[in-house]
Amino acid sequence: MLIRRPPDIPTSEITEERHYVSRRAWLAAAGVTAVAITANRVMAARGKSPAPVVGAEAFADDPTSFKDITTYNNFYEFGTGKDDPAKNAHTLRPRPWSVVVEGDVKKPGRYDLDDLLKGIPVVDRTYRHRCVEAWSMVIPWNGIQLKDLINRLEPGTKAKYIEFHTLYDTTQMPMQRTNIMPWPYVEGLRMDEARHPLTLLATGLYGKSLLNQNGAPLRLVVPWKYGFKGGKSIVKIRFVEEQPRNSWQLLAPDEYGFFANVNPAVDHPRWSQARERRIGDFLKRPTLPFNGYADQVASLYAGMDPRTLY
């Protein structure tokens, strides 16, 4: 099947990839994953802490081009076509921006985004992104570890889950005038998932601030889950005791669940998840359990039925 390509964006909007893509990791592409995992197991057997295996660089994955990342998107608030967000998201006003914090937390309130994140270390992470529609990308994110913000806000003992709400404003997000989705868009994580060091609140990609179509100015990134877990343009964070009902669960509970962990053995009711097409490639590749991050996150779900984790 051919993938529709949107018109070129201006060259001025594209950061030169040579500034961000190191070729050193690619030289050992064939064996880097096996070496990292084997080394971790040996170190663990000796009672030592394993070395972190972080991001797509651990798998020698080449980042997807800035052009593709910013022109091939799911953001239904601006349209259902992959090129709609890039064409229509100019109506979003990402500054000034505030985030409301609610629930079982010691520091609730409405925060200016810059004040909310001030002083929290910024990290650069290149992560695989796997869409539930069986396409994928590799994205160089900039942002903060969500756990650092959670620690700043000091949730209480009843906060078992964290819930994220996207902006609801029909003047800025025209598709919210329709009923194609339950609005506002809501997503959630279990607290241990939110505190995992891989989980980010992204504020940029490729060293640039997030563009509107990518979820400016703040979006959730959880690399071992399908992309619909990544709520965009976040305006509310709630610390809650009960598991949130996310938007896709509400829309199609027979097709979408809460956890959304990438699992090639569990198909979507309408298509296989065993393989994926990396944007920019012609051939498909095998889908990896937990999107390739099983060594770091599978322990979060020990004892649970993998088929319930979608």
Decide if 29 is inside a domain: no
Structure confidence at residue 53 (pLDDT): 61
Domain coverage including residue 247: 11-21+62-308
Structure confidence at residue 96 (pLDDT): 97
The rounded mean pLDDT for the chain is: 86
Decide if 304 is inside a domain: yes
Q: What is the dihedral of CA 141, 64, 208, 212, to 10 degrees?
A: -90
Structure confidence at residue 56 (pLDDT): 80
CATH code, domain carrying 304? 3.90.420.10
Q: Which of 56-60, 133-137, 233-237 has the lowest mean pLDDT?
A: 56-60
Q: In angstroms, rounded to a whole number, what is the distance separating the alpha carbons of residues 171 and 188?
A: 25
Residue 44 has pLDDT above 70, yes or no: no
Structure confidence at residue 41 (pLDDT): 44
Decide if 2 is inside a domain: no
Please answer whether residues 174 and 88 qualify as being in contact, where contact means their C-beta atoms are separated by less than 8 angstroms. Answer: yes
Paired tokens of 274: 């065993």
Give which of 75, 259, 92, 283 is closest to 169, Cα–Cα: 92
Decide if 134 is inside a domain: yes
Decide if 191 is inside a domain: yes
Structure confidence at residue 123 (pLDDT): 97
- CB within 8 Å of 190: residues ≥ 6 apart: 160, 161, 243, 300
In three-state secondary structure terms, 197 is coil
Please answer whether residues 143 and 62 qualify as being in contact, where contact means their C-beta atoms are separated by less than 8 angstroms. Answer: no
Residue 242 has pLDDT above 60, yes or no: yes
CA 67 to chain centre: 18
**Which stretches of 161-244 are DSSP H helices?**
191-194
Structure confidence at residue 46 (pLDDT): 43
Give which of 4, 147, 11, 10 is closest to 84, Cα–Cα: 4
Looking at the 3D structure of the chain, how many domains does it have?
1
pLDDT band at 3 (very low <50, low <70, confident <90, very high): very low
Decide if 31 is inside a domain: no
Q: In angstroms, rounded to a whole number, what is the distance separating the alpha carbons of residues 191 and 160?
A: 5
Q: 16-32 pLDDT, tens per residue?
A: 443 333 333 333 333 33
Decide if 256 is inside a domain: yes
The strand pairing partners of 125, in sequence order, are: 141
Question: Percentage of the chain with pLDDT > 70?
Answer: 83
Paired tokens of 157: 């003992």
Decide if 48 is inside a domain: no
Longest Cα–Cα distance of the chain, Å, equals: 59
Q: 100-154 pLDDT, tens per residue?
A: 999 999 999 999 999 999 999 999 999 999 999 999 999 999 999 999 999 999 9
Compare 234 and 40 and report the one with higher pLDDT. 234
Structure confidence at residue 36 (pLDDT): 38
- For 166-197, letters b (16+ CB in 10 Å) and e give bbebeebbebbeeeebebbbbbbbbbebbbbe
Q: 169-189 pLDDT, tens per residue?
A: 999 999 999 999 999 999 999
Average pLDDT over residues 274-293: 97
